[in-house]
Amino acid sequence: MTKISLTAARDLAVRVLLASGVSEPNAEPVARGLVAAEADGLSSHGLLRLPAYADQALVGKVDGLATAVVERTATGTLRIDAKDGFAFPAIDLAVEEGAALAEQAGIAGVAIHKSHHAGVLGRHVEAAAQRGLVALAFTNSRSAIAPWGGKVPLFGTNPIAFAAPRRDRPPLVVDLSVSKVARGRVMVAHARGEPIPGDWALDAEGRPTTDAAAALAGTMLPFGDAKGAALALVVEILAAALTGSAFGFETSSMFDAEGAPPRLGQLFVFVAPRRLAGEGFADRLEMLISAVLAQPGTRLPGQRRLESRTRAEAEGIDIPPDLRADLERRAGLR
Amino acid sequence: MTKISLTAARDLAVRVLLASGVSEPNAEPVARGLVAAEADGLSSHGLLRLPAYADQALVGKVDGLATAVVERTATGTLRIDAKDGFAFPAIDLAVEEGAALAEQAGIAGVAIHKSHHAGVLGRHVEAAAQRGLVALAFTNSRSAIAPWGGKVPLFGTNPIAFAAPRRDRPPLVVDLSVSKVARGRVMVAHARGEPIPGDWALDAEGRPTTDAAAALAGTMLPFGDAKGAALALVVEILAAALTGSAFGFETSSMFDAEGAPPRLGQLFVFVAPRRLAGEGFADRLEMLISAVLAQPGTRLPGQRRLESRTRAEAEGIDIPPDLRADLERRAGLR
């Protein structure tokens, strides 16, 4: 592993994207998003995605010059066409305009279509919570999970993210994929040649497997069995059907430059707490959190990410030397 | 078991409630809700609840004469004070007014506070989907699930419900509690003197148990381990903190007439699909559902409920003779 500061990592990522024909207004949020994932210890959504992003921009699978367009479709709803560009700039727009709308309307729904990989979904709801809003987000992704009782992947690992603002603290963030583990962790195991636990995935014949390659050819298991599979269906409906986007079984891979633009979808719901809770939301949330933490052995969701972030801000992040060399080559630095 | 038609069951339930001092406008929706649960095969949320409801009305733990009050707090949000009355009439109001608001605003958020037991949450989102809306609902309930890593119940079994309208078919409904199984099933096992599977609950010392009584004194396990526990926290925030309601660890039991009004909360989000998806939501949903059902061994969530409902409409429902006798006595019919 090689150590790099967050600033240097962002700068490197921007250069790679610019060298791949991505506009500066698009390169900035993509670089920020990927490096934020690294800082939070979520390397499966970090810089290892960048070579594929860059290749996709080079061949036009993602339009690096796209400018997302917002349409106000009713007093409380926005529809964003990401124009086959990266998801990050479209999502930044969704958070900015959606947050302003929620302040005014009490609740706002924002649907993004013709979109791309959302990265760490929790980061986006966290940004909304930093503006004082409670936020929910859903995104779909390429088929990885079979419907309950079936063997062929149909739904993505389809994360659900939630954030709530806290007084004088970073927001509370819950971010969970409906697969037992994120598919990215199987990809990391595969890249490292390591086995995976036997309850993460089934192979193509529907048998449990510890082989990462067999798992990638098969189907991820949902967390919580049938209930998790039902949630995968709900997220597919919310993130794809309700945004006018491609289903997981219609989309192309996020990991190579083959095929058509992925046209994934993201759905956000932003709520101004005082409109629904009356006064006192912040105090009540702290009371609930105190009751959780009063029990020995408990911790809040998202704490590991915050600890990793603090460390990364002080010490930088570790990336594989091969990846760094690849990125530096792409950036024209070697 | 004794057989009773749905109409006769509703009539009996209304009489029990009226005899307990509940107003007719409140007795009707409560009776309809409990009998609808029976029809859907969910007897843990059915007529077995009625004796406790009636006792609560008699002592004023629930106000049988309450009239819920709606306040429009912003262009997209409604706040409903259930006035310590039953949840069913307040929720009917939430669906009716919330659906109208969502048609207009694109999305509506409705928070109910000073509320009571929501019954089968899926029925309420189904009612919204019958009006053409996509709906999400959350409610909290009395502490039954410990935070992850802890041993003392803090969160309710906190169901999440989702519904989407289908063309020429009943809505698709997903309704799942975040406990591995609904606590009502443990209560049913307890009432019947039956054991429970060893992975449903922990006893008061945090050990797995097959004894229903020990489970009721301990903590229910969330589905999907830590992820399910995180969802329980999210629902507690959405249904209680965000509605201005009591937390699961502050509320009184729904099963007896002791203590103060429970003051639980419900949160609904209603969305007009065309505002977010553009045209074509109905077709796209059918395409997704077809892809699910094309795989052998799969079925849609909620199908068992619909099958049970069809049977109940033709043949009536079975209720325990003791329960029927109790209800008839309360109704002054014997």
- Return residues 140-169 of A near B (CB < 8 Å): 146-152, 154, 162, 164
Q: What is the DSSP letter of A146?
A: P
Q: Per-residue pLDDT for B278 more than 90?
A: yes
Residue B266 Cα, gap to closest chain A Cα (Å): 11
Name the residue among B107, B233, B280 with its Cβ closest to that of A301: B233
Tokens of A234: 């709900």
Closest CA to A256 of A58, A37, A35, A28: A58
Contact B17, B9 (CB under 8 A): no
Residues of chain A contacting B109 with CB distance shorter than 8 Å: 106-107, 271, 275-276
Binned at pLDDT 50, 70 and 90, residue B41 comes out as: very high
Per-residue pLDDT of chain A (334 residues; tens, 9 = 90+): 999 999 999 999 999 999 999 999 999 999 999 999 999 999 989 999 999 999 999 999 999 999 999 999 999 999 999 999 999 999 999 999 999 999 999 999 999 999 999 999 999 999 999 999 999 999 999 999 999 988 899 999 999 999 999 999 999 999 999 999 878 789 889 999 999 999 999 998 888 999 999 999 999 999 999 999 999 999 999 999 999 999 999 998 888 999 999 999 999 999 999 999 999 999 999 999 999 999 999 999 999 999 999 999 999 999 999 999 999 999 999 8
Candidates A73, A101, A107: best to mutate against B (most CBs of B within 10 A) is A107
pTM of the model: 0.96
Instruction: Please check whether residue B223 touches A, CB under 8 A.
Output: yes
Residue A332 burial class via C-beta count within 10 angstroms: exposed 0-12, middle 13-18, buried 19 and up: exposed
Q: What is the DSSP letter of B251?
A: P
* Predicted interface score ipTM higher than 0.90: yes
Backbone angles phi, psi at A105, to 5 degrees: -90, -10
Report the side by side order of strands in the sheet with A264-271. Answer: A69-74, A77-81, A107-115, A264-271, A134-139, A160-166, A169-176
Instruction: Please check whether residue A271 touches B, CB under 8 A.
Output: yes
Dihedral of the alpha carbons of B277, B280, B281, B283, in degrees to the nearest 10:
-160
Residues of chain A contacting B152 with CB distance shorter than 8 Å: 295
List alpha helices for chain B, DSSP H: 6-19, 24-39, 50-59, 87-105, 121-129, 183-192, 212-217, 225-236, 273-277, 281-293, 303-315, 321-330
Are the Cβ atoms of A276 and B237 closer than 8 angstroms? no
Single-letter residue type at B183? R
Tens-place pLDDT, residues B294-323: 999 999 999 999 999 999 999 999 999 999
Residues 6+ apart with CB under 8 A from B270: B95, B98, B99, B101, B102, B107, B108, B110, B128, B133, B134, B135
How many CB atoms are located within 10 Å of the residue B226 CB?
14
How far is A302 from A304, CA to CA, in rounded Å? Answer: 6
Name the residue among A74, A146, A164 with its Cβ closest to that of B237: A164
Searching chain B, which residue's CA lies closest to the CA of residue A236? B288
Write the DSSP assignment of B144-184 as a string of letters: -BPPTT--S--B----EEEEEEETTEEEEEEEE-SBSS-HH
Residues of chain B contacting A79 with CB distance shorter than 8 Å: 275-276, 278
Closest CA to B32 of B53, B1, B9, B3: B9
Q: Per-residue pLDDT for B182 more than 80?
A: no
Q: What is the DSSP letter of B239?
A: I
Q: Per-residue pLDDT for B181 more than 90?
A: no
Among all chains, which residue has been given the structure tokens 């949902």?
A222
Residues of chain B contacting A271 with CB distance shorter than 8 Å: 77, 109, 242
How far is A168 from A172, CA to CA, in rounded Å? Answer: 12
Instruction: Please check whether residue B277 touches A, CB under 8 A.
Output: yes
Class of domain A1-59+302-334: mainly alpha
How far is B156 from B232, CA to CA, in rounded Å? Answer: 7
Searching chain A, which residue's CA lies closest to the CA of residue B103? A74
Residues of chain B contacting A232 with CB distance shorter than 8 Å: none
Q: Taking the mean position of all CA atoms in its chain, how far away is CA A142?
A: 13
Closest CA to A106 of A72, A127, A75, A138: A75
- Return residues 175-204 of B near A (CB < 8 Å): 176, 180
Q: Taking the mean position of all CA atoms in its chain, how far away is CA A273?
A: 24
Domains of chain A by residue range: 1-59+302-334, 68-179+222-301
Searching chain A, which residue's CA lies closest to the CA of residue B135? A238
Tokens of A47: 């810089």
Contact A249, B290 (CB under 8 A): no
Residues of chain A contacting B278 with CB distance shorter than 8 Å: 79, 113, 244
Binned at pLDDT 50, 70 and 90, residue B66 comes out as: very high
Residue A223 Cα, gap to closest chain B Cα (Å): 5
Instruction: Please check whether residue B111 touches A, CB under 8 A.
Output: yes
Binned at pLDDT 50, 70 and 90, residue B209 comes out as: very high
Name the residue among A74, A106, A288 with its Cβ closest to that of B247: A288
Instruction: Please check whether residue A243 touches B, CB under 8 A.
Output: yes
What fold is seen in the domain A68-179+222-301? Ribosomal Protein S8; Chain: A, domain 1 (3.30.1370)
Are the Cβ atoms of B230 and A176 closer than 8 angstroms? yes
Mark residue B172 as left, alpha or beta (left: phi above 0; alpha: psi -120 to 50; beta: remaining). Answer: beta
> How much is the pLDDT for A185?
84
Searching chain B, which residue's CA lies closest to the CA of residue A248? B288
Residues of chain A contacting B287 with CB distance shorter than 8 Å: 247
Name the residue among B76, B108, B278 with its Cβ closest to that of A244: B278
Candidates A237, A247, A249, A270: best to mutate against B (most CBs of B within 10 A) is A237
Searching chain B, which residue's CA lies closest to the CA of residue A247? B288
Residues 6+ apart with CB under 8 A from A66: A26, A82, A83, A84, A85, A86
Residue A160 Cα, gap to closest chain B Cα (Å): 10
Are the Cβ atoms of B79 and A150 closer than 8 angstroms? no
Residues of chain A contacting B275 with CB distance shorter than 8 Å: 73-74, 77, 79, 109
B67-179+222-301 to CATH, choices 3.40.190.10, 3.40.50.620, 3.30.1370.60, 3.40.50.300: 3.30.1370.60
Q: What is the DSSP letter of A208?
A: B
Residues of chain B contacting A152 with CB distance shorter than 8 Å: 295
How far is B107 from A105, CA to CA, in rounded Å? Answer: 10
Tokens of A4: 């790099």
Among all chains, which residue has been given the structure tokens 């020995």?
A296
| Average pLDDT of span B93-120 | 98
Residues 6+ apart with CB under 8 A from A313: A6, A39
Residues 6+ apart with CB under 8 A from A85: A26, A62, A63, A64, A65, A66, A67, A68, A116
With the C-alpha atoms ordered B313, B44, B60, B115, is the resulting torsion angle positive or negative? negative
